[in-house]
Structure 1
Amino acid sequence: MEAWNTNNDPKVIGGYFVNSVKNKLGCPERIRADAGTENCYVKQMQSFLRDEHADRFAGVCSFMYGRSTANQKIESFWSILRREVTSFWMDLFKQLQIDNYFVGDLLDKNLIQFCFMDLVQADIDSTVSVWNSHRIRPSKMASLPCGRPALMYSIPELYGVSDCLKAVTPERIELCETECLMKDNIPCDKDIFDLCQLLVNENMWDFPADPHEMCDLYIQLRNEIMNII
């Protein structure tokens, strides 16, 4: 899971997908996604990567649309993610707005991204790690395996299920990469990023790991830049 400055650019979403394929040297047997426009590149890439295979889900059959609300498991996870991660950040940013430190303009949005993106990503990564290590309890449905997700994914044969990773060639992955926008180390507008880095270095400010202390840095940067402009 990735935190970034957009969640609806299909080239960025495609970049997440290609990075996963590159790391695994394979793509899923089949992908199910909702009909949002941000998924169109994933659909095309998945079909392209799978068209050299010969199983019944090869090619265009390897991608299907479906409403996310019909997927109880992912809806349950979104509920957990909101409770464990996003509610905290929503409340924190809402308080900045209440205190008149955020008005929603270009500067404020980019300062939020500059200051908090890494902290949000670390929070998400921690939650995913815990989720992948928790134990799934036995279900009344005999077809559903139980165990720890990380082990079930890494060693599926121990749970009586097959590995659905389909090998793809590096050449095809490289072709897909050319159509993507990859996440980099600049989480906001580059000019604002460079200015913030300059101010941080000039004033010898630290990047705190605590979100509430990061709010102080956000306010300091905001005040400095508003005085400049």
Structure 2
Amino acid sequence: MSVPRSVVTDYFTHYESELVRQRRKNRLRRKMFWAAGVNDLWAVDQHDKWKYKFGLALHSGIDPFVGKIHWMKIWWTNSNPRLILSYYLDAVQELGFMPLVSQSDPGTENFGLANGHTLLRHLHDPSLQGTLQHRWMREKKNVKPEIGWSQMRRRFTPGFENILDIGVNEGWYDPDVLIEAVIREYEV
């Protein structure tokens, strides 16, 4: 794909103005992402941008080496460790394989996934006993899922939010009514 430099410059000036300022001041720091290959690690992350407006929370699991999204789930919560572990286990069962390492931000919702993944890895390779097969990424360093959320916010979210707004405006759905969230949980 060939894109004129002016288009790229205009895009970054409009959407990434802070990064443009940092670049001009030579304050950008390069970071290296390294993965041994496909299924070396799966990075997971949650997204709460719709939590307060629509009462919906998102969660994703990505293989950052190839950019494959293994799951992107929407539910009324993304802070339940059992729910997050179920997303991971569903993906492992569907695909028939698991990564060597899982990766997430530190948060109680990810403890179930970290422990479940570590247990499965220990069952398959007893020499790993006593090791944690999960990488905790601190200080916003779980970059690959964040890039996925950023792309979704730009490409998918505007149109989908319009559809959700129609449901709220027509009275089909009220994110402030807890019983609707509970009923949705049991209907699925």
Superposition TM-score, scaled by structure 1 size: 0.41
Which one has more relative contact order, counting CA pairs under 8 Å at least 6 apart? Answer: 1
**Larger-Rg structure:** 1
Superposition TM-score, scaled by structure 2 size: 0.49
Q: Higher strand share goes to which structure?
A: 2
